[in-house]
Structure 1
Amino acid sequence: MPHYAGLTALDQRARDIFRSVVETYLETGEPVGSRTVSRGGVHLSPASIRNTMQDLTLAGLLAAPHTSAGRIPTHAGLRLFVDGLLEIGDVGQEERREIDARLAANPSKYGGRGFDEALNEASALLSGLAGGAGIVASPVRDAGVKHVEFVALGSGQALAVLVADDGTVENRLMPLAAGVTPSILQEASNFLNARLKGRLLSEARQEMGAELAAARTELDAAAARLVEDGLAAWSGGADRERSLIVRGRANLLNEAGAAEDLERVRVLFDDLEQKEQLIGLLDGVNAAQGVRIFIGAETRLFSLSGSAVVAAPYMTGRQKVLGAIGVIGPARLNYARIIPLVDYTARVLGRILDGQDT
């Protein structure tokens, strides 16, 4: 079994050759040979480079995918490179402008479904800029209810507004039956405010069914329907509370070339259907300060597909973590470019959902 070597175990020659192999592989996706390394700025003979590459292979940092072929980094090698040798760039001005324009410049465009629309936009945006698939896990809604209200919008629609104790606001568009008057909207609002204020929505939802059934004789039928629809729109069960948004699956197919690449993408598509496991992975990001990276077999979920995830928490201005956003793709992601993109997008998304942008 190969012995994993830490960065301190590598001399300067080994570091230079290792860096050259990994950087070339991340750029091309192809195994890297000794002659390629020698032409890439490592001023040693191909024979000397081959010997060092063999040592790095025995150390578990490189692997030979085919007989007499070049080398590619193992997942352990990629982790060593990312942690110790990667030079991370900054988000370019053009990319910053695009992120700000699509997320921050006009938050009112999200309308009544601002929360969901902002998450969808961020996921699609990150997928387009970074390649791979963009993923976003919605927050756990654990704050108490401060105030609820129904607002008529016209055209047969109402806005169900929920304000939480932590200051977050969740708006949902819902259909409004014909003949519903402002007094009926107020009746439904008063009913919910009297019973939800100060309670966790997830807890109250379990008990509201019986309370609503008992109160039907007091409530107008239209008001009772509004109460039911509002509770469903805000909470919507466990799947609604923790949605997982994935955008840009087609990018993964564009990156696939050989048959084995397509098979890895097929396995990754299966992984993307494991909603609970993916949300659990992103929940692990919530405790982090900044970007976290998961590579291949480091997580059981991606042990077969050999995929990687770059993710960061998005949070309020008071540093309360709301959820996590990231990019998933093959292990040879362009980490130097994607890490700052994920970090910046997460910060902008946090400001939008916190209502700080105007």
Structure 2
Amino acid sequence: MSDGQKILSQMNDRSREVFRRVVEGYLESGDPVGSRSLTRTMSEKLSAATIRNVMQDLEFLGLLDSPHISAGRIPTQLGLRMFVDGIMEVSTVTLADRQAIDATLGAPEQDVGTMLDRVGAALSGITHGASLVLTPKREAPIRHIEFVSLAPDRALVVLVFADGQVENRLFTPPPGQTPSSLREAANFLNALAEGRTLSELRGHIAREIVVRRQELDQLARDLVESGFALWDAPGDSQERLIVRGQSNLLDAATEMDLARVRSLFDDLERKRDIAQFLELAETGEGVRIFIGAENKLFSLSGSSLVVSPYMNADRKIIGAVGVIGPTRLNYGRIVPIVDYTAQLVGRLLSGERQG
């Protein structure tokens, strides 16, 4: 049992209701909730003085805070966590929200990247937060690899996959490359690549370079190794973090929040720790909620993240969707939306479509 759950189990009905109404009022308005406003909504008729005493007790427990002297109270991070874990009522996805998400599916032959981009836009639109969609790694087998020289210090590697997708990646080749070394490197890779995915090819290249080192021209070997380093780089174009709706965060920010929102924008712009974003979702099936400093990726901005993984037909986690915003997110509404979206994306990528 967590600290919050222990505290909750020890609270009487009056304290629990005051706490719940303060948190719900704050999540709805973003403003501190005062004792006078609660006198009109409590199920038990209480004076403002009595409610203030209960609030003081809750503040002593670390569940509420007073942002200003003589102002109302707002929940602390511990209070929000306790509310989310023990009190919050999760709603169902409304018909309008379902239709907005379903409309992103498009035609059956729609490119996966385009579809996920539209999913992100819809998710940010209906939640009024910023959406994060981590696209799956490409696991289609490779059909062909080719190197194209663009300039003495610039080259292009063209990857053609069995599913028809083509990826072009610019990189800086080792100095002194010649047309023959480009052909030799491509021939070496194509002999290894047939029928293998990119992740499978990575390990195979490293082994084969050691075994067949003498067969490869030094220039071609350098080229293969530099290409291998490009493919093995973390956060490469195998997986992509799609971010939509940053302007929603600015709209919701107060003057005090602006510095934190800018910090969050910097993190998102650099697409830092994409792998960690997926790790957050992989630690458990279903939707997970990270509040404020619990969110290691964006803790400096004090934001909250609601995230869920999506899976392929083999029940393997291949990506994630989430919503990020201020700690006063409407968690009860956003949790089922993120869950519905993740399940829908998983079904689509597994070849299932809505009936």
Would you call these one fold, judging by a TM-score over 0.5? yes
Instruction: State the number of aligned residues.
Output: 309
Q: Which residue of 2 aligns with 1:117?
A: 114
Contact 1:88 1:336 in 2 (8 A): yes
Amino acid of the residue matched to residue 136 of structure 1?
V
Question: Is the CA contact (8 Å cut-off) linking 2:295 and 2:303 kept in structure 1?
Answer: no
TM-score by structure 2 length? 0.76
1:293 and 2:289 aligned = yes
Provide Cα deviations, 1:100-149, integer angstroms capped at 9, x if missing partner. Answer: 1212x523232xxx3x22322222221111111101223356x6x65636
After TM superposition, the structure 1 = structure 2 runs for residues 234-273 of structure 1, keeping only pairs within 5 Å, are 235=231, 237-238=233-234, 239-257=236-254, 259-273=255-269
**Aligned to 1:240, what secondary structure does the other structure show?**
coil
**Whole-Å Cα distance in 1 between the matches of residues 201 and 7 of structure 2?**
48
- Higher RCO (CA < 8 A, seq sep 6+): 1
Report whether the alignment pairs 1:344 with 2:340: yes
SS in 2 for 1:108: coil
Query: Equivalences for 1:1-358 in 2 at 5 Å?
Result: 6-42=7-43, 43-103=45-105, 105-110=106-111, 114=112, 116-140=113-137, 146=141, 148=143, 160-162=160-162, 171-172=165-166, 192=190, 195-198=193-196, 200-204=200-204, 235=231, 237-238=233-234, 239-257=236-254, 259-273=255-269, 275-357=271-353
| Structure 2: runs of 5+ lacking an equivalent | 146-157, 170-185, 218-223
Runs (5+) with no aligned partner, structure 1: 151-157, 163-168, 176-187, 217-227
Q: Which residue pairs with 1:166 in the alignment? A: none
Q: Answer whether contact 1:293 1:311 (CA < 8 A) is retained.
A: yes
The 2-side partners of 1:241 and 1:147 are apart by 13
Could you list the per-position Cα deviations for residues 46-87 of structure 1 after superposition, in whole angstroms to 9, with x for gaps in the alignment?
111111111111101100111111100011110100111111
- Provide the alpha-carbon RMSD of the alignment: 3.3
TM normalised by structure 1 equals 0.75
Which residue of structure 2 aligns with residue 184 of structure 1? none
Stretch moving more, 248-257 or 94-103: 94-103
Moved over 4 A (4+): 188-191, 204-211, 234-237
Paired residue secondary structure (1:66) = coil
Distance 1:190 1:203 in 2: 15
Confirm or deny: 8 A CA contact 1:272 1:278 kept in the other structure.
Answer: no
Contact 1:61 1:76 in 2 (8 A): yes
Distance 2:187 2:328 in 1: 52
CA distance in 2, matches of 1:147, 1:173: 11
